[in-house]
Amino acid sequence: MTDIFTLAHLSDPHLPPLPAARLRDLAGKRVLGYLNWTRNRHKYHHREVLDALVADMQAQRPDHIAVTGDLVNLALEAEFAPAQAWLESVGTPQQVTVVPGNHDAYVRATRHHFAGTFEQYLRGDAETNGTRFPFVRRRGPLALIGVSSAVPTLPLMATGRLGRAQLDALDRHLAQMSADEAFRVLLVHHPLHSSSRMKRLTDSMALRAVLKRRGAELVLHGHDHIHSTMWLEGAGRQIPAIGVPSASALAHRHYPAAAYNLFSISREGGKWRCVQTVRGFGDHGDISELQHVRLS
């Protein structure tokens, strides 16, 4: 019987509660973010929701866990230590891979805190120290490729960008892996398509061109706080790109309640088989299986 590798995916925990902020910390963009949190977002992001979701995920005993960004909210210095403690409770750096989101690089003053705090969770196998994007981590049959779309932006903007250097390096990594029997998973915070100019990945077309030329088996992202599946052109086959709701959210407006993905991955007859299971909070407030889909 073919061995099955299980990859869990959650995103956008926006770790609550927000720590007390000093007046000097709330200059510039953070003022609007702080007001948005205190007047609105704190109603929907709850620590008990996040803890229950993570407990259910851990009970499924996944082989690895991918977290696609937005661990913090305003990138206050006081947010990173609690976020580090939370991530350590999810799993060890061997068990968990993380990439940053736009909230993790909210302002220029602390844009590098994420990479420094979570270095062990986003260090590539070939790196001896420091953090470099894209990074590659081999876990079982998977090649996890992490890129950073997290850049500080102007107030009211939540766009992301990879930049030419990351795109060129990603192209090289994917080309080198094309002959390997590896299930290539690209981890990025921003989706590769967005109807909002304020929230889009600005060089998504360039990223999609790399994927069309080199291929991949799966793309995982967050940012939109919704369930989503889109199919991208790859090298000879389509690539599923999967998004997931915020891991700490109550259902509100058009946003669903917290959920996570499980991907069961195996090699059969020289071809990859990938089945997606979505687990999350249902209408009755309990966590259950919401969807089961064969992707390949």
The pLDDT value given to residue 156? 92
Q: In what order do the strands lie in the sheet with 142-146?
A: 135-139, 142-146, 183-187, 218-220, 238-243, 228-233
Q: Which domain holds residue 60?
A: 7-17+24-294
pLDDT at 22: 85
pLDDT range class, residue 172, cuts 50, 70, 90: very high
- Please report whether residue 184 resides in a domain: yes
In a domain, 2, yes or no: no
Over residues 85-104, the pLDDT tens digits come to 999 999 999 999 999 999 99
- Is 203 inside any structural domain? yes
Number of domains in the chain: 1
Q: Is residue 169 part of a domain?
A: yes
Res. 1: pLDDT tops 60: no
More confident site: 26 or 207: 207
**Is 30 a domain residue?**
yes
Mean pLDDT, the chain, whole residue set = 95
Mean local confidence (pLDDT), 114-122: 96
Whole-number pLDDT of residue 25: 86
- Domain with residue 196: its CATH number is 3.60.21.10
User: Does 157 have pLDDT greater than 50?
Assistant: yes
Give the model confidence (pLDDT) of 127-143 as tens digits.
Answer: 877 789 999 999 999 99
Q: Is the pTM of this model over 0.85?
A: yes
Identify whether 174 is part of a domain. yes
- pLDDT tens digits, one per residue of 189-219: 999 998 889 999 999 999 999 999 999 999 9
Q: Stretch 49-71: mean pLDDT, rounded?
A: 98
**Residue 209 located in a structural domain:** yes
Task: Tell me whether residue 68 is in a domain.
Answer: yes
Q: What is the pLDDT of residues 236-255, one digit of tens each?
A: 899 999 999 999 999 999 99
Return the pLDDT at 180. Answer: 83
